[in-house]
Amino acid sequence: MYEGPKALRVACLGAGYFAQFHYEAWRRILRIRLVGACDRDREKAKATGLTAFSDLASMLKMAKPDLLDIITPPPTHFDAIRQAIDNGVKTIICQKPFCTSLEEAEHATTLAEAACVRIVIHENFRFQPWYRAIMQALEKKLLGELLQVTFRLRTGDGQGPEAYLDRQPYFQEMPELLIHETGVHWIDTFRYLLGEPEAVYADLRRLNPAIKGEDAGYFIFDYAGGVRALFDGNRLLDHSAENCRTTLGEALVEGTKGTLTLSGDGSVRLRHFGDREETLLLAARNWEGFGGDCVKNLISHVVDGVLDGTPLENEARDYLKVIEMERAIYLSDRLGQKIREFESA
C-alpha cells in the first residue's frame, strides 16, 4: 500500500456482487491508501479486509477519506453524495446508473459543483482496451470515412425462470432492464467514439416472461453526414466466446477504407476494403479484473486526474447527457418514432 505524502485516502461504500471488482482493482492502484469499507451488512464489509463500517456517516467521520467510491444501487446515491460533501470529501466516484432520475442526478451534480466537489460516474466500458484500440484506429483514419458502428449484445444469461438469479437477482424486478442497466454502456461508448448524436430511434421488447423489464431490442443513433450507430441487444442469445461476459457481444466499425471487428475474446482486427485477410490490432489475452480491467483503468484515470491534474472523463455534468439519451430511447420506443430533442425527452 502506497504511504507517500500524496497518497489519496480512499473509502468504499458497498460490498455487493460488483464491488469485488472495485476492491480488487483499488489494491493494484499506486498512490492511494484504502481506509474503509461500508455496507449495511457489516460482515460483507469485514470480508473486504478493510476497516469495516455499517454506517456511512461513521466511516466518513472516522476514516476521513479524500475520495469516496460509491458502489451501491441508485436509490442510495443522492444521500451518499450529500453526506460525502458535508464531510469534506473532494472527489466521488459513483456507480451507474447515476441516481434514480435525471432530476435527482442534476440536483446531486449541482450540490457537488457548489461545494467544488468532483463526481466521476463509474461508466467503465469506454475504458475497455478494445474501445481504446478502436478509437486509436479512428483517429488514425485507418477506416477512411466512418459510415457505421454496430454492436450486438449477446450475454446469453437471460433465458428461463432462473435468469440472473445466480449473480444479480434484482435484474428480474427492474421495470427497465436492457437499456437502463446494460445498453447505457453503449450510449456512453458511442458518445466516446463518435461524439454527440443528432437523433435516436428505438424498438424494445420483453422476451422472457419471468422478468419485468425489456430484455431485447435496438436503438439507432443518427450522426451528421449519415453516420449511424446501432445497438442490437438480446440477453437471451449468446455469441462465440469462452466467456460471454468479456465483451458481452461483438462489434463492427465500418468505413470507406476498411472494417474493424471486435470479437468476443476482446481481440480487434482490421480488414482493408476489398481484402480478405485481416490485421490484428489488439490481441486477446487474460486481462485481470472485469471487462479488460476497465474498473482499474477508470479508477486509475481518476487518481491521475486528482493528483496530476489531468482531464477527467465522465464527470457528472457531462454524464447527464447519457441519462437524457436513455430517456429519449425509452420515449422513442413508446411513441414508435425518432426523437431529436434529447433534453426534452
Domain range list for the chain: 8-122, 128-290+323-335
- Predicted confidence at residue 106, as pLDDT, reads 98
Can you identify the CATH homologous superfamily of domain 8-122? NAD(P)-binding Rossmann-like Domain (3.40.50.720)
Residue pair 206/213 in contact (Cβ under 8 Å)? The answer is: yes
Q: pLDDT tens track of the chain, all 345 residues?
A: 444 557 999 999 999 999 999 999 999 999 999 999 999 999 999 999 999 999 999 999 999 999 999 999 999 999 999 999 999 999 999 999 999 999 999 999 999 999 999 999 999 999 999 999 999 999 999 999 999 999 999 999 999 999 999 988 999 999 999 999 999 999 999 999 999 999 999 999 999 999 999 999 999 999 999 999 999 999 999 999 999 999 999 999 999 999 999 999 999 999 999 999 999 999 999 999 999 999 999 999 999 999 999 999 999 999 999 999 999 999 999 999 999 988 766
Q: Is the pTM of this model over 0.85?
A: yes
The side-by-side arrangement of strands in the sheet containing 146-153 is 199-205, 216-222, 228-234, 146-153, 249-255, 258-262, 268-272, 279-282
Distance CA 291, CA 26 (A): 15
- Predicted confidence at residue 345, as pLDDT, reads 65
Output phi, psi for 15, to 5 deg. -145, 40
Distance CA 222, CA 184 (A): 16
Per-residue cell: 167: 449473480
- Predicted confidence at residue 2, as pLDDT, reads 45
- Predicted confidence at residue 5, as pLDDT, reads 56
Topology at the third CATH level for domain 128-290+323-335: Dihydrodipicolinate Reductase; domain 2 (3.30.360)
